[in-house]
């Protein structure tokens, strides 16, 4: 009891001594999880011998009744030229290369489900095989994204030679560490061919070991003609800076809402929400609409609503407005399928505000 009184007293005194509203200047700003990884920008080499562990999977139909030649097939670095002859490949279609994250493999559900969705949308689908290099300690895998990106770009260079793939029909998408990897693929592709890959989509690109890097060593809007970023856990596994052209800060970008609104989705849960949201956006390409913010700080504070004229952008495989770049607050529901459509454009549709107002809407509480 005495202890409790002491604690209360100390708290009261602390309160007295501040005597003013808290502010960001007083509180400080989050540093972000593992911002700096000393040495992770130093060279890393994949030897000629190990290049056979790097590959691209052409996604096919893996159902048991499908003839063998139409099933998925992995091409290692040295077999890249043969991809063009794959019977699942059709150069008239659009092509997506999807890059998974840390510890990922093209056989795991993240890449498989995403790939199958794109296939249903009529794309040729390539998945990255780099498991050998993405299952080391995280800061080491983070260092390996540079040579992985370079060699994948070399493989793509062969695939996009004149007469083969039309570069304008080519896209890259990646989640987490794959969201940074797409940058190194795009940078190297540009260096080798002089051309930029038109569309890049990054799903909560990794912040750890990248968030404080210069543009040469992280995802950047100079990497593609249109770089779209989904931000769902900016101080944890994601990164806070608006490094793309069009940047969607989902529910402010810090944490995602879970079932009970006063318990947020954890770091991992918030990070992975970027994937689910993109998956839903592929099926409902006009349903995630964000409102423009003046700053990331404003997005963090859920304070981007009510501006006139209303400026919006759509998180979509097809309808992102490249002529309206910037920072967008994307309000979502706490349950699948998450999208709110136009309801998400108003403050009272915003998840936390809505619930906070509701729970204390009684003028006087009696119990």
Ligand X SMILES: *[C@@H]1O[C@H](CO)[C@@H](O)[C@H](O)[C@H]1NC(C)=O
Indicate which single residue of 34, 57, 59, 80 sits in contact with ligand X (rule: CB under 6 A): 80
DSSP string for residues in 129-160: E-TTTSSS-HHHHHHHHHHHHHHHHHHHHHHT
Indicate whether 333 belongs to the interface with ligand X (CB under 6 A). no
Residue 170 DSSP one-character state: E
Give min distance, CB of 261 to ligand X, in A: 32
How many C-beta atoms lie closer than 10 Å to residue 323's C-beta?
Answer: 7
H-only helix segments in 94-238 = 109-120, 138-159, 177-193
The window from 41-49, 102-110, 152-160, 346-354 that contacts ligand X (CB under 6 A) reads: 152-160
Binding region for ligand X (CB under 6 A) out of 66-74, 107-115, 153-161, 172-180: 153-161
| Part in contact with ligand X (CB under 6 A); list of ranges 40-48, 120-128, 273-281, 319-327 | 319-327
Q: How far apart are CA 32 and CA 25, in angstroms?
A: 17
Cα dihedral 238→109→96→173 (10° resolution): 0
User: Shortest Cβ distance from residue 37 to ligand X (Å)?
Assistant: 29
Distance of alpha carbon 163 from the chain centroid: 32
Among 155, 239, 299, 320, binds ligand X (CB under 6 A): 155
Task: Using CB under 6 A, pick the residue from 56, 60, 73, 77 that binds ligand X.
Answer: 77
Q: In the complex with ligand X, which residue's Cβ is closer, 185 or 209?
A: 185
Classify residue 341 as left (phi > 0), alpha (psi -120 to 50) or beta.
left
Question: How many CB atoms sit inside 10 A of residue 247's CB?
Answer: 26
Count of residues touching ligand X (by CB under 6 A): 10
Block residue for tokens 């540093």:
31
Under a CB-based contact definition with an 8 Å cutoff, are residues 245 and 341 in contact?
no
Q: How far is the CB of 290 from ligand X (least distance, A)?
A: 13
Closer Cβ to ligand X, 154 or 166, answer by number:
154
Residue 227 neighbours by CB distance under 10 Å: 28
Contact with ligand X (CB under 6 A): which of 30, 321, 336, 342?
Answer: 321
Asked if 154 interacts with ligand X (CB under 6 A), we say: yes
Instruction: Identify the CA nearest to 257 among candidates 142, 354, 176.
Output: 354
Stretch that binds ligand X, among 61-69, 125-133, 271-279, 317-325 (CB under 6 A): 317-325
Backbone φ, ψ for residue 231 (5° rounding): -110, 120
Q: Which is nearer to ligand X, 81 or 283 (CB)?
A: 81
Query: Which CB sits closer to ligand X, 89 or 237?
Result: 89
The nearer residue to ligand X, 114 or 289, going by C-beta atoms, is 289
State the nearest-atom distance from the C-beta of 92 to ligand X, in Å: 23
Nearer to ligand X, 185 or 240 (CB): 185
Do the Cβ atoms of 307 and 292 come closer than 8 Å? Answer: yes
Q: Does 328 bind ligand X (CB under 6 A)?
A: no
Q: Is residue 324 near ligand X by the rule CB under 6 A?
A: yes
Specify whether the CB–CB gap between 285 and 317 falls below 8 A: yes
Name the minimum Å distance from CB 314 to ligand X.
8
CA distance 330 to 363: 31
Helices 138-159 and 177-193, interaxial angle, to 10°?
Answer: 40
Chain positions 109 to 128 lying near ligand X, rule: CB under 6 A, are none
**Using rule CB under 6 A, residue 17 touches ligand X:** no
- Select from 22, 23, 47, 323 the one that contacts ligand X (CB under 6 A): 323
In this structure, the number of other CB atoms found within 10 A of the CB of residue 156 comes to 26
Instruction: Decide if residue 81 touches ligand X (CB under 6 A).
Output: yes
> Residue 152 interacts with ligand X (CB under 6 A)?
no
List contacts with ligand X (CB under 6 A). 77, 80-81, 154-155, 158, 311, 321, 323-324
């Amino acid at each position: 009891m005495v202890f409790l009184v002491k604690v209360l007293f100390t708290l009261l005194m602390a309160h007295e001594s501040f005597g003013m509203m808290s502010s960001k200047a007083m509180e400080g700003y989050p540093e972000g999880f593992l911002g700096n990884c000393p040495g992770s920008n130093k060279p890393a080499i994949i030897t000629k011998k190990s290049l056979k562990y790097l590959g691209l999977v052409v996604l096919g139909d893996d159902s048991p009744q499908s003839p063998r030649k139409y099933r998925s097939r992995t091409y290692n670095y040295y077999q890249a030229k043969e991809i063009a002859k794959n019977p699942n490949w059709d150069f008239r279609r659009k092509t997506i290369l999807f890059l998974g994250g840390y510890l990922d493999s093209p056989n795991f559900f993240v890449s498989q489900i995403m790939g199958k969705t794109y296939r249903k949308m009529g794309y040729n689908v390539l998945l990255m095989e780099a498991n050998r290099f993405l299952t080391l300690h995280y800061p080491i895998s983070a260092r390996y994204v540079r040579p992985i990106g370079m060699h994948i770009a070399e493989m793509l260079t062969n695939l996009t030679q004149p007469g083969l793939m039309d570069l304008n029909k080519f896209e890259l998408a990646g989640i987490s560490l794959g969201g940074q990897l797409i940058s190194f693929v795009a940078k190297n592709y540009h260096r080798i061919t002089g051309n930029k890959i038109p569309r890049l989509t990054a799903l909560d690109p990794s912040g750890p070991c990248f968030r404080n890097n210069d543009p040469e060593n992280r995802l950047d809007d100079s990497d593609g003609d249109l770089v779209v970023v989904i931000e769902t856990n900016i101080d944890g596994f994601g990164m806070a800076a608006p490094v793309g052209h069009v940047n969607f800060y989902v529910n402010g970008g810090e944490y995602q809402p879970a079932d009970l609104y006063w318990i947020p989705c954890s770091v991992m849960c918030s990070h992975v929400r970027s994937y689910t949201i993109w998956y839903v956006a592929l099926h409902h390409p006009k349903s995630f609409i964000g409102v423009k913010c003046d700053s990331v700080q404003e997005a963090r504070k859920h304070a981007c609503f009510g501006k006139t004229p209303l400026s919006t952008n759509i998180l979509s495989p097809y309808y992102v407005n490249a002529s309206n770049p910037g920072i967008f607050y994307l309000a979502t529901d706490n349950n699948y399928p998450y999208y709110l459509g136009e309801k998400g454009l108003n403050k009272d549709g915003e998840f936390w505000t809505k619930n906070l107002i509701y729970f204390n809407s009684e003028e006087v509480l009696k119990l």
